[in-house]
């Protein structure tokens, strides 16, 4: 026996309406994917600051070599999130904590390369551009360079706390992510030690503790994937912390060398 199913006009209209809804949803997802995939975030920690006025404009006589940092951070990370119900009914609040964000993050993929090199190169690039020394060398590139001073760094901590709402999947999730609701918060803390060594005597002539923290909030998926100022959101946060600290760092180093 063959059964023939006949759709009424109202039924056909309902089916067509549902099909159009699905089509619009898929189009919306496709546009979102295209826009977010085109956002090429930089992974470097480059700085954009001017030297403090207290620093002499005359370059320091001698060659400064900046070495790759020593990584003493806690080698612990997690791919599990703490979760609990937030202020929005039925929506979970997630929390990821990572001590080595250059290897793992929860909400936004981040393949920056080892921080022991990234931090060192950011500081090298900044000092070299400012022309604070007669010549500045990045030692990982030129291990046999003859230098008068060596800037060494120790990474003590790079703490990252990612918190945000989890809206699940489907239409509800895409609407909230695109049009914006409390989405993700990035809390970054860095702690590193800098020291300057005079090569002729192997004496450490200057030491400085660099610590700072920052919180950035992102309210939709475009901000989360596109980053800020052309950088990945984690690179942006760390760069801003370093930018706040570097004027004091360079001033302190300059005073130490004058003495």
| Location of structure tokens 């302190």 | 252
pLDDT at 136: 95
Q: Does the pLDDT value for residue 110 go beyond 50? A: yes
**Rounded Cα–Cα distance for residues 116 and 207 (Å):** 18
Instruction: Give per-residue pLDDT as tens, 183-196.
Output: 788 999 999 999 99
User: How far is residue 255 from each of residues 60, 227, 259, measured CA to CA in Å?
Assistant: 12, 37, 6
Instruction: Give per-residue pLDDT as tens, 145-181.
Output: 999 999 999 999 999 998 877 665 555 555 655 665 5
The 10 Å CB-count burial string (b at 16+, else e) for 143-167 is eeeebbbbbbbbbbebbbbbbbbeb
CB-CB neighbours of 105 under 10 Å: 22
Mean pLDDT of 59-80: 85
pLDDT at 189: 96
Strands 92-98 and 82-85: antiparallel
Arithmetic mean of pLDDT over the chain: 77
| CATH number listed for the domain at residues 39-258 | 3.40.50.10610
252 vs 51, more confident: 252
Please name every residue paired with 204 in a beta bridge, in sequence order, or none if there are none.
197
Strands 149-166 and 60-66: parallel
Please name every residue paired with 4 in a beta bridge, in sequence order, or none if there are none.
none
Cβ-based neighbours of 44, under 8 Å, separated by 6 or more = 112, 118, 121, 122, 231, 235
pTM of the model: 0.74
Instruction: Give per-residue pLDDT as tens, 16-68.
Output: 444 444 444 434 444 343 333 334 447 778 877 665 555 556 788 899 999 99
Band (12; pLDDT cuts 50, 70, 90): very low
Q: Where are the alpha helices (DSSP H) in the chain?
A: 9-37, 115-130, 171-179, 221-226, 233-258
**Rounded Cα–Cα distance for residues 222 and 56 (Å):** 43
Mean pLDDT of 241-248: 93
User: How far is residue 246 from each of residues 52, 122, 253, measured CA to CA in Å?
Assistant: 9, 11, 10
């Amino acid at each position: 026996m063959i059964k023939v199913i006949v759709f009424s006009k109202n039924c056909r209209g309902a089916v067509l309406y549902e099909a159009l809804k699905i089509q619009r949803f898929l189009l919306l997802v496709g546009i979102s994917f295209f826009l977010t995939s085109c956002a090429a975030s930089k992974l470097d920690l480059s700085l954009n600051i001017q030297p403090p006025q207290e620093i002499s404009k005359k370059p320091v006589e001698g060659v400064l070599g900046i070495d790759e940092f020593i990584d003493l951070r806690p080698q612990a990370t997690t791919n599990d999130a703490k979760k609990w119900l937030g202020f929005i009914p039925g929506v979970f609040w997630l929390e990821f904590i990572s001590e080595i964000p250059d290897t793992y993050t929860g909400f936004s993929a981040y393949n920056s390369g080892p921080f022991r090199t990234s931090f060192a190169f950011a500081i090298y690039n900044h000092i070299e551009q400012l022309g604070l020394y007669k010549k500045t060398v990045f030692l990982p590139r030129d291990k046999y360079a003859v230098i008068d001073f060596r800037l060494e760094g120790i990474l003590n901590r790079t703490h990252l706390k990612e918190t945000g709402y989890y809206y699940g999947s489907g239409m509800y999730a895409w609407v909230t992510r695109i049009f914006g609701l409390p989405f993700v918060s990035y809390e970054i803390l860095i702690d590193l030690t800098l020291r300057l060594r005079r090569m002729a005597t192997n004496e450490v002539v200057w030491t400085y503790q660099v610590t700072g923290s920052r919180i950035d909030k992102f309210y939709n998926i475009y901000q989360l994937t596109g980053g800020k100022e052309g950088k990945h959101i984690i690179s942006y946060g760390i760069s801003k912390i370093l930018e706040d600290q570097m004027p004091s760092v360079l001033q302190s180093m300059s005073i130490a060398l004058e003495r």
